[in-house]
């Protein structure tokens, strides 16, 4: 066990320690954060693959006192270093994807260009490789009785994580905070696109019994029809509808109570930071106007825990990297801290 007798949580963070300046090793930590530096299929802004390094730096300026979950951190948080092989593979395939996306967006026929056909195969094979890697890393940690969180990277990274969680916990639900549904089928002919991750999860993981989506405000007709055809398993709270209910007098507490009642006993939180107001995440991969304030989300999460439901894991994805601007990382580090405390507090 880590000796905390000489650790002062009120002092300046020591960057020679781990995330948030905490002095834990992976062996001693209750929660292990797995960074996944991958963003091959992003279709707007890139940069999320390197978010973990920026969040680590920003985490040194996060105060450790959390009045809602006091001392949860004493059970130990540890973040692994991003895997350089995964990052290099992402960088290489991202270059291929940029050329490929530019090609097909101009209406060119894929089958007429052998190079683009090869790029498509390479990228799809890369997605399969990444999913397997994340699954194996998560599985190994769960087998050691660790709580696991995944830090992106783009949203496509979570499929292997979900699969490993499902094997341990059986039936569970996902609470997705996101500006997008991510329910497209093979978007841009990529099997494992960031825009298809929830479609893939629902297709490949039968024990994912409930997907509750919050803050969606940018989606296509195919996704809307999928939601309508899967009511009961997929419940989407569109940002527009939430706002209109509030305009007409409903409180966030009333809406929160309704959301909590839609969730099963076990809940995994999938937090795409673009679900927030873009003033909080201006460099995220695909920003959209509208969205939540952070305290709205953490009020909801607190109510879920108070309801007796159990958090079984979380991911935090799509945090952008700005030029000479660490605001995204600062917000991301604070969200990571609150999520980590909630997860550990829910698994005493």
pLDDT tens, residue by residue, 161-170: 999 999 999 9
pLDDT at 74: 96
pLDDT value at 44 more than 80: no
Residues at the annotated binding site for Mn(2+)?
A: 155, 178, 180, 182, 272, 274
Residues at the annotated binding site?
A: 155, 178, 180, 182, 272, 274
Q: What is the pLDDT confidence band of residue 29, given thresholds at 50, 70 and 90?
A: very high
Measure the CA–CA gap between 330 and 56, rounded to whole angstroms: 10
Measure the CA–CA gap between 127 and 116, rounded to whole angstroms: 16
pLDDT tens, residue by residue, 191-200: 999 999 999 9
φ/ψ of 28, rounded to 5, equals -90, -15
Instruction: Report the pLDDT averaged over residues 212-238.
Output: 97
pTM: 0.96
**Locate tokens 């090869």: which residue?**
118
More confident residue, 305 or 348: 305
pLDDT at 112: 79
pLDDT at 2: 87
pLDDT value at 43 more than 80: no
pLDDT tens, residue by residue, 278-305: 999 999 988 999 999 999 999 999 999 9
Q: How many CB atoms lie within 10 A of CB 108?
A: 12
Going by the DSSP 8-state scheme, the letter that residue 73 receives in this structure is G
pLDDT value at 122 more than 80: yes
* Options 3.10.20.30, 3.40.50.2000, 3.55.10.10, 3.40.800.10; CATH of 24-345: 3.40.800.10
Measure the CA–CA gap between 124 and 319, rounded to whole angstroms: 23
């Amino acid at each position: 066990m880590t000796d905390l007798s000489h650790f002062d949580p009120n002092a300046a963070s020591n960057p020679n320690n781990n995330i948030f300046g905490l002095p834990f090793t992976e062996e001693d930590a209750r929660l292990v954060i797995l960074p996944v530096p991958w963003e091959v299929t992003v279709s707007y802004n890139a940069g999320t693959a390197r978010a973990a390094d920026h969040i680590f730096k920003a985490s040194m300026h996060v105060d450790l006192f959390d009045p809602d979950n006091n001392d949860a951190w004493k059970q130990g948080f540890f973040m692994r270093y991003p895997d350089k092989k995964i990052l290099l593979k992402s960088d290489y395939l991202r270059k291929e994807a940029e050329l490929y996306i530019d090609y097909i967006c101009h209406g060119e026929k894929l089958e007429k260009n052998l190079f683009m056909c090869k790029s498509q195969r390479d990228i799809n094979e890369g997605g399969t490789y990444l999913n397997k890697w994340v699954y194996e890393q998560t599985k190994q940690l769960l087998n050691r009785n660790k709580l696991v969180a995944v830090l992106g990277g783009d949203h496509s990274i979570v499929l292997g994580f979900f699969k490993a969680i499902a094997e341990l916990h059986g039936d569970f639900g996902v609470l997705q905070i996101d500006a997008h549904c991510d329910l497209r089928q093979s978007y841009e002919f990529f099997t494992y696109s960031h825009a298809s991750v929830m479609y893939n999860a629902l297709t490949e993981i039968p024990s994912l019994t409930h997907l509750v989506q919050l803050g969606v405000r940018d989606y296509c007709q195919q996704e809307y029809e999928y939601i309508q055809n899967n009511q009961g398993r997929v419940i989407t709270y569109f940002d527009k509808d939430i706002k209109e209910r509030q305009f007409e007098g409903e409180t966030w507490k009333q809406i929160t109570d309704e959301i909590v009642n839609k969730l099963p006993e076990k809940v995994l939180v999938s937090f795409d930071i673009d679900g927030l107001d873009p003033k909080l995440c201006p460099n995220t991969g695909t920003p959209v106007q509208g969205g939540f304030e952070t305290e709205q989300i953490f009020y909801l999460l607190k109510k879920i825990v108070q309801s007796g439901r159990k958090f079984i894991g979380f991911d935090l994805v799509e945090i952008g990297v700005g030029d000479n601007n660490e605001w995204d990382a600062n917000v991301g580090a604070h969200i990571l801290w609150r999520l980590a405390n909630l997860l550990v507090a829910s698994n005493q």
